[in-house]
Amino acid sequence: MVDISDDTNVVRRRTEVTRVVRRRRWSDQDKGRIVAEAVIPGAVIADVARRHDITPQHLSNWIRAAKDGRFALPAEEVSAFVPVVSVALAETNKAAQERRPGCIEIVIGAVQVWVPSGANTRDVEAILRAVGRASA
pLDDT, greater one: 129 or 52: 52
The mean-pLDDT minimum among 5-14, 55-64, 77-86 falls in 77-86
Alpha-helical regions (H) of 54-119: 56-67, 75-78, 94-99
Distance of CA 100 to the CA centre of its chain: 32
Mean pLDDT, residues 27-38: 89
Residue 100 or 18, more confident: 18
Question: What residue spans define the domains of the chain?
Answer: 25-79, 80-136
The separation between CA 10 and the C-alpha centre of its own chain, rounded to angstroms, equals: 52
- Answer yes or no: is pLDDT of 5 > 60: no
